[in-house]
Amino acid sequence: EAFAAQSLAVLRELDFDIDRVNVNGGGIALGHPTGATGSVLITKLIYAMKKRNVEAGLVTLCIGGGQGMSIALQNI
Protein backbone atom coordinates (compact mmCIF):
# COMPACT_ATOMS: atom_id res chain seq x y z
CA GLU A 1 0.00 0.00 0.00
CA ALA A 2 1.07 3.56 -0.61
CA PHE A 3 1.12 4.44 3.08
CA ALA A 4 1.92 1.09 4.69
CA ALA A 5 5.30 2.26 6.00
CA GLN A 6 3.72 5.29 7.68
CA SER A 7 0.94 3.19 9.17
CA LEU A 8 3.38 0.66 10.59
CA ALA A 9 5.53 3.41 12.10
CA VAL A 10 2.52 5.01 13.83
CA LEU A 11 1.26 1.63 15.09
CA ARG A 12 4.63 0.91 16.65
CA GLU A 13 5.11 4.40 18.09
CA LEU A 14 1.66 4.46 19.71
CA ASP A 15 1.87 0.79 20.74
CA PHE A 16 -1.47 -0.17 19.14
CA ASP A 17 -2.64 -3.79 19.28
CA ILE A 18 -1.91 -4.95 15.71
CA ASP A 19 -4.70 -7.55 15.98
CA ARG A 20 -7.25 -4.73 16.26
CA VAL A 21 -6.06 -2.61 13.33
CA ASN A 22 -7.26 -3.22 9.76
CA VAL A 23 -8.93 -6.47 10.82
CA ASN A 24 -10.29 -6.96 7.28
CA GLY A 25 -7.21 -5.66 5.49
CA GLY A 26 -6.14 -2.24 4.32
CA GLY A 27 -6.75 -0.24 1.17
CA ILE A 28 -5.58 -2.92 -1.26
CA ALA A 29 -7.76 -5.63 0.29
CA LEU A 30 -10.82 -3.37 0.54
CA GLY A 31 -10.46 -1.59 -2.78
CA HIS A 32 -9.93 2.09 -3.45
CA PRO A 33 -12.69 3.45 -5.72
CA THR A 34 -11.95 7.00 -6.80
CA GLY A 35 -14.16 9.47 -4.97
CA ALA A 36 -15.83 6.87 -2.77
CA THR A 37 -13.10 5.79 -0.37
CA GLY A 38 -14.60 7.47 2.69
CA SER A 39 -18.11 6.12 2.24
CA VAL A 40 -16.85 2.63 1.38
CA LEU A 41 -14.57 2.48 4.44
CA ILE A 42 -17.29 3.79 6.77
CA THR A 43 -19.81 1.25 5.47
CA LYS A 44 -17.32 -1.61 5.79
CA LEU A 45 -16.44 -0.49 9.33
CA ILE A 46 -20.10 -0.39 10.38
CA TYR A 47 -20.63 -3.97 9.18
CA ALA A 48 -17.37 -5.14 10.80
CA MET A 49 -18.32 -3.51 14.11
CA LYS A 50 -21.73 -5.22 14.09
CA LYS A 51 -20.20 -8.59 13.16
CA ARG A 52 -17.48 -8.40 15.83
CA ASN A 53 -19.80 -6.73 18.40
CA VAL A 54 -17.33 -3.96 19.21
CA GLU A 55 -18.27 -0.62 20.73
CA ALA A 56 -16.13 1.80 18.74
CA GLY A 57 -14.29 2.07 15.46
CA LEU A 58 -12.16 4.58 13.59
CA VAL A 59 -11.81 5.28 9.87
CA THR A 60 -8.87 7.35 8.65
CA LEU A 61 -7.77 8.28 5.16
CA CYS A 62 -5.23 10.47 3.48
CA ILE A 63 -5.98 13.43 1.28
CA GLY A 64 -3.67 14.98 -1.29
CA GLY A 65 -1.23 17.60 -0.09
CA GLY A 66 -0.34 15.84 3.13
CA GLN A 67 -3.77 16.22 4.70
CA GLY A 68 -5.99 13.59 6.24
CA MET A 69 -9.36 13.02 7.82
CA SER A 70 -10.91 10.60 10.25
CA ILE A 71 -14.24 9.66 11.79
CA ALA A 72 -14.91 7.81 15.02
CA LEU A 73 -18.02 5.64 15.12
CA GLN A 74 -19.89 4.17 18.08
CA ASN A 75 -21.94 0.97 17.84
CA ILE A 76 -25.24 1.68 19.64
Distance CA 9, CA 56 (A): 23
Of 31-35, 55-59, 65-69, highest mean pLDDT: 55-59
pLDDT, tens digit, for every residue of 21-30?
Answer: 888 877 777 7
Beta bridge partners of 72: 58
Distance CA 47, CA 6 (A): 26
CATH architecture of 4-74: 3-Layer(aba) Sandwich (3.40)
**DSSP 3-state of 64:** coil
Phi, psi of 39 (to 5 degrees): -65, -35
The residue ranges of every structural domain in the chain are: 4-74
